[in-house]
Structure 1
Amino acid sequence: MSNKNQFLKSPDLLPITQNGKKVGSLGFAFIWVGMAVVLAAFAIGGSGVQSLSLGWVILATVIACVALGLLMTLTGDIGVEHGLSFPVYMRAPFGTVGTHMPSVVRGLVASCWFGVNTFFGATAMNAILATISGFDNWFVCFLIFASLQVLNTALGIKAVERFADLAAPVIIIISGWMYMTLSDQALQNGREVWTWVENPATGGAAFTAFMVVVMANMGFWGTLASDMPSISRFVKAPKLERNWFKRNKAQVAGNLIAYPIVQTFMVVIGAVSYIAVSDYDPVVALQQSASGVILGVLLLMIVLAQWSTNISANLIPAAVVFSNVGGPKVPFGVGVIGAGVIGIAVQPWSLFGIIIDMLLIIAAVLSAIVGILISDYYLLRKRRVNVPDLYESEGQYKYMNGVNLAGYFSWVIGGGIALFFPTYSFIVGFIIGGVSYYVLAKYWWFEKYKQAELIDPSDEKYLGLTVGRDWKIELEKGRSDVEIEIAAATSK
């Protein structure tokens, strides 16, 4: 086996087989409950009610969540069907070498969000300690909190599900209490949460404000829409199931039910927090409206929420990306540590004032990648993938020196144009990136570099779970590089 091949076959990047899929529908929904309680959601709500009533902010959030949840489920089928992670599948639309640039961008974004969420959780942790013991040092709490999350993530995906199982019910119950507490605080200040608007926008300005809420929601979770396969490859699914919805029912439970509900509720809490005390940070609001044990429990919810969010949505995707770039010398655990170090180094405490602007830029850059992924997987390959060649340095995905120029040109075109339309950044980037890739790949690049699954779109050769196949990539020397095992014709 060549060194180049070995570099593409890091153990942490191999396809997950049916036996390795440990997360069920309820577990995935609970992971989403934990992931959706984040600072960005509070900021979106607090920013939105400065120009719109709470009802319009909720409508914009629901629209964004349902649309993005569908995109997440679409890209997540890559992980469900073939057991592939995001950076590995990206070798198809970007090349075995070209995958690194967009993957690293996503990994850096995830690492930055890890830092932001860790800082937010650390402020809550510090408030708890200050209330209980008088200890007051948020930076020490930040370092401790970051270390604990990195350690938990290194234990593996099942540890994440178990943690989310513990945190999710607590988060659901206490979030309701938080909403009622903040609503009462707002009424005491003479503000009715469903009618109050700081500076009401009308006409075109109101529509622009509405779209900013939509795009901000899509911008934040657009990161996960691109690399949902890194998580969905661990989600249980029935073998020999050709119906897309039945095959992805566990994903649907999380992406199209749990995520929209919890995300919308978090946006509402941020909005009500801003209405109550003119600050979308519920840690600040809670310290003004609660005390003693009640305050401690509420702040603990914030800590637990950031913990489960960072593990599933940030540390795992970033670690998978860095492991892909580094090859066998950078195992998953090292990738987790790298993500943690980057999250600390960016000094996340300085990023709060520009969160909404960041979300719109992120939406522009990553939406084009989501469009390219869906165009490549569904429109061109029609879900059929020559998986063995994804791990071969001289296979069909080598393209020109390991780079698929159709993918890069489409990314630059889609993401670049989207930056000029921040109010509609995700929509613009997604459509232009996807359409550009389809045209460039089908009528130019794939004419030069033939793709086996396009020439012979065989189900038996190039589908995975649908035909009962577990893709297995062999690592040992002296044996075949690729072994395809046809699993039993029964679904779990």
Structure 2
Amino acid sequence: MADKKNNKTSHENVDAAAQTDSLRSFGPEDRKIGALGYMTLWIGDGVNMGNMTLGASVVVAGIATLNIWQTMLAAFIAIGIISTLFALNDRVGYRTGIPYVSQLKISFGEKGTLISSLLRAVPAVIWYGIQSWIGGTALNEIFKIVSDGSFDNPAITFVILLIIQILLSMKGFESIKWVESVASVVLMGIIATVFVVLVKDHGQAVSDIWVNSEGSWGLPFFGYVMVFLGNYAAIFLSAADYSRELKTGYSDKKRGLLYFAPILIAYGSVIMVGAMLASATGYTNPALGLPALFDNLYIDIFISVFIVFGSIAVNMVANIVTPTYVIQLFTKLNYKISVTITGLLAMISFPWLLVQDSNAKGLDMFVLIYSAFLGPMVAIMIMEYYLLRKQKVDVDELYKKNGDFSGFNSAAIIAMLVSAGLAFIFVDLAWIIGFVSALILYPLITKFAFKGSKFKKGTIFEKN
């Protein structure tokens, strides 16, 4: 990413973020990704072991909670909602070129953004470490096989994989686009291979256990819609970080398809294969289920390649860019240094402890805690842009020192905290509860409370 200043914001009275290479507002000349490259981002992100595990969780101990039609419909509804929220929340980034952390400033204020941005960045860094550790252990398996057992050190391969990802990320989205293009082809090829084997050799078991199961159209069905949806909650929250890289000229409908089509193909197929794998092998863990499909000494390489590519692809899209921008927000350092810091933070997040079975419950609780805030946050951002500001944002004002967006927007912070609290009442539907609660609470609090707030300027409540 070149270190250039935006002409509109390169004056003395601007916030330091406007002068930072990646946090400034991008113009048309900064956008390098076309439709095909943009779609490969979401294909590469969608195909990984974690998403396959979600699909496999539909079938536990030979009993299917949902049958094939219920699973397909739950996935289709979730992906439809994901794509819609992506297209809604990405519009401000696409139109103005601002990143996610600057979009947060519109709703939460400059100081409020320092708090709210961490709710997306901290989990991303931790997942960056977890995915890299998983990928590193898989890379270690490859080295063990190739070296005939003479090499066996997952700590070294973990560091190697982190260094590779840091170096790849240093060139920004140009590098990410290249990585995802390769990963999407490799990963979809592996998924297609597994699908063919399942249909050919285990079709009857899949049919008996999953396809012809009675399943459920009740609460478990809607619970899985939320599970499939929640897996993308953190990513579409920071949609502006991706849409600002997309070339100009794409309508809202076309951008919606750029999300829906690849996510349906990648995420949808991985969910289906995961359910088929659990039906055929009895394992809900794909790392155990995949070897059971093949009678081949080199199947470990097959699985390990899948895990390594999947880990890199997920990190490059979901777990590196946004926390890097947040680090820039706090430190005002350039992109390459911030990317390196992000990788180092992932390294010292102790992922080798977090992935242990004894800590699984604590990790699940951590996921539930931070996820409860994501629904309210995206609701506040969407409500702010579409209802309160009627899709009008003064980008110059957004980057000014001590401007209209400095300080805290107490209305947004209160709405987020109250909605997150309500989300904990029923954790299985936490995301939707928090989302709907914030949609209602935020405009009400903005209208009736904090009457002297400068954050009402430029909104429909300005006169009040």
Given that 1:5 and 1:393 are in contact with CA atoms closer than 8 Å, whether structure 2 keeps it comes out as: yes
Sort the Cα spacing of 1:19 and 1:292 in 2 relative to 1 into closer, same or farther, 3 A.
Answer: farther
Given that 2:14 and 2:399 are in contact with CA atoms closer than 8 Å, whether structure 1 keeps it comes out as: no
Unmatched runs of 5 consecutive residues or more in structure 1: 239-245, 458-492
Matched, 1:168 2:184: yes
Q: What secondary structure is seen at the aligned counterpart in 1 of 2:119? A: helix
Matched, 1:29 2:39: yes
Q: Distance in 2 between matches of 1:332 and 1:168?
A: 25
Matched, 1:231 2:235: no
Q: CA deviation at 1:381?
A: 0.7
Q: Distance in 2 between matches of 1:112 and 1:171?
A: 24
Sort the Cα spacing of 1:450 and 1:324 in 2 relative to 1 into closer, same or farther, 3 A.
Answer: closer
Q: What secondary structure is seen at the aligned counterpart in 2 of 1:396? A: coil
Q: Distance in 2 between matches of 1:365 and 1:455?
A: 26
Q: CA deviation at 1:35?
A: 0.6
Matched, 1:310 2:315: yes
Q: What secondary structure is seen at the aligned counterpart in 2 of 1:13? A: coil
Ranges of 4+ aligned residues in structure 1 off by more than 6 Å:
1-4, 200-203
Sort the Cα spacing of 1:387 and 1:445 in 2 relative to 1 into closer, same or farther, 3 A.
Answer: farther
Letter in 1 for 2:311: Q
Q: CA deviation at 1:34?
A: 0.4
1:36-435 aligned within 5 A? 36-50=46-60, 51-133=65-147, 134=149, 135-182=151-198, 186=202, 192-196=205-209, 207-238=218-249, 246-248=250-252, 251-290=255-294, 291=296, 296-297=301-302, 299-326=304-331, 328=332, 330-349=333-352, 350-351=354-355, 353-354=360-361, 359-398=367-406, 402-435=407-440
- 1:23-81 Cα distance to aligned partner (Å, 9 max, x none): 11111111111011123312211222223334323321221111011101111111110
Given that 1:182 and 1:273 are in contact with CA atoms closer than 8 Å, whether structure 2 keeps it comes out as: yes
Sort the Cα spacing of 1:171 and 1:391 in 2 relative to 1 into closer, same or farther, 3 A.
Answer: same
Q: Distance in 1 between matches of 2:365 and 2:336?
A: 32
Given that 1:364 and 1:426 are in contact with CA atoms closer than 8 Å, whether structure 2 keeps it comes out as: yes
- 1:253-306 Cα distance to aligned partner (Å, 9 max, x none): 331111122111112222233333333343333333333566534532332222
Q: Report how many residues are paired.
A: 439
In the superposition, the TM-score normalised over structure 2's length comes to: 0.86
Q: What secondary structure is seen at the aligned counterpart in 2 of 1:193? A: helix
- 1:366-410 Cα distance to aligned partner (Å, 9 max, x none): 011010000001111111001111111211112xxx100011001
Q: What secondary structure is seen at the aligned counterpart in 2 of 1:192? A: helix
Given that 2:447 and 2:461 are in contact with CA atoms closer than 8 Å, whether structure 1 keeps it comes out as: no
Letter in 2 for 1:196: I
Given that 1:154 and 1:336 are in contact with CA atoms closer than 8 Å, whether structure 2 keeps it comes out as: yes
Deviates more, 1:282-291 or 1:1-10: 1-10
Q: What secondary structure is seen at the aligned counterpart in 2 of 1:97? A: helix
Q: Which residue of 2 aligns with 1:469?
A: none
Letter in 2 for 1:60: A
Given that 2:13 and 2:400 are in contact with CA atoms closer than 8 Å, whether structure 1 keeps it comes out as: no
Q: Distance in 2 between matches of 1:202 and 1:160?
A: 40
Q: CA deviation at 1:319?
A: 0.6
Given that 2:405 and 2:455 are in contact with CA atoms closer than 8 Å, whether structure 1 keeps it comes out as: no
Identity of aligned residues (%): 24
Deviates more, 1:360-369 or 1:386-395: 360-369
Q: Distance in 1 between matches of 2:389 and 2:254?
A: 24
Q: What secondary structure is seen at the aligned counterpart in 2 of 1:14? A: coil
Q: Distance in 1 between matches of 2:205 and 2:179?
A: 37
Q: What secondary structure is seen at the aligned counterpart in 1 of 2:339? A: helix
In the superposition, the TM-score normalised over structure 1's length comes to: 0.82
Q: Distance in 2 between matches of 1:156 and 1:201?
A: 48
Q: CA deviation at 1:456?
A: 12
Sort the Cα spacing of 1:207 and 1:433 in 2 relative to 1 into closer, same or farther, 3 A.
Answer: same
Q: What secondary structure is seen at the aligned counterpart in 1 of 2:405? A: helix
